[in-house]
Structure 1
């Protein structure tokens, strides 16, 4: 029979790797299919497909250079989150029964924080509220909340001490 603490740690590794894969795949897809989501960023920032944009017209950003910079920053954040999460998962896997497991948790925590900042602060808060994405045909707010919530819950789980760590505390 397997040790509960080992299974607990293995599940953290799998969860970390899964979230990292999500971030990396989204970032890579945005590079390979650059124009598809670039259009999303352009429309969200220009607020040009909203049912009544007149009231918040002062919030629009129509500068194409700013659109491009914003999109590149999004892609960098996705790749950064995925890379740090992947490093964390690998370090946790290599140290599954050792004290170095917590070093992997630190890497995953950093990657998860970047991902949460991107999808919650960037899309849900900034895009959703300042640029009124909720009233826009190009609305990614629900997906952003979904990603951010799952990543935050996963970060909490990954940081929960394993049973033997609780006994030592």
Structure 2
């Protein structure tokens, strides 16, 4: 099947193509992050342990009871973060494949069901939000006071990751304005 110039532009210039590209970029980003965390385990594991122990933060008797100094707990937290990053990468890359199948329309036997690409993208970016807003900004940032940590402060990186996921979630949940379904669902005009 060959696409005419207009049909090609309808596909490559669409919101769905933008979502597919963002899903691909963020999927590969999290794959690289997870692999790097497996290769450079010492640096990153020490960072997690430093945040949990609250060694390098502002010390106050009212908050120091929150510190977790067990190396085993830090290691488990680190492993869970890396597993979560691999899962994010897998979901977003699967979404990318589903978007490619949906956008290409060829061959038909490879197309996924309706909405699978959007649902996978939404799941992947929600997982990112849970990790970075929930894990890094809320738990590490506020509970373990990472924002005041002199050695490890990943707050700005966590915010960056959360914002990218937020943009993806907004894009994937916007209605397709130029889709035939959106035109068909317009309310009937009132008769004069």
Q: In the alignment, which residue of structure 1 is the partner of 2:190?
A: none
2:149 pairs with 1:136: yes
Matches within 5 A, 1:7-156: 7-8=13-14, 9-96=16-103, 100=113, 102-137=115-150, 138-156=152-170
Tell me, yes or no, if the aligned pair for 1:134 and 1:141 is still in contact at 8 Å.
Answer: yes
State the 1:111 CA deviation. Answer: 1.3
SS at 1:52 equivalent: coil
| TM-score relative to the length of structure 2 | 0.82
C-alpha distance in structure 1 between counterparts of 2:63 and 2:138, whole Å: 16
Question: Which of these two proteins has the greater Rg computed from alpha carbons?
Answer: 2
Say if 1:112 and 1:152, in contact at 8 Å, map to a contact too.
Answer: yes
Q: Which moved more, 1:93-102 or 1:48-57?
A: 93-102
Q: TM-score, normalised by structure 1?
A: 0.92
Change (3 A) 1:31 1:155: same
The whole-number CA distance in structure 1 between the counterparts of 2:90 and 2:114 is: 17
Query: By how many angstroms is 1:97 displaced?
Result: 5.5
Which stretch shifts more, 67-76 or 102-111? 102-111
Could you list the runs of 5+ residues in structure 1 that have no partner in the other structure?
none
State how many pairs are aligned. 169
Contact 1:20 1:85 in 2 (8 A): yes
- RMSD, aligned α-carbons: 1.7
2-structure distance, mates of 1:118, 1:16 = 17
The structure whose residues are more often helix, as a share, is 1
Runs of 5+ unmatched residues, structure 2: 106-111, 186-192
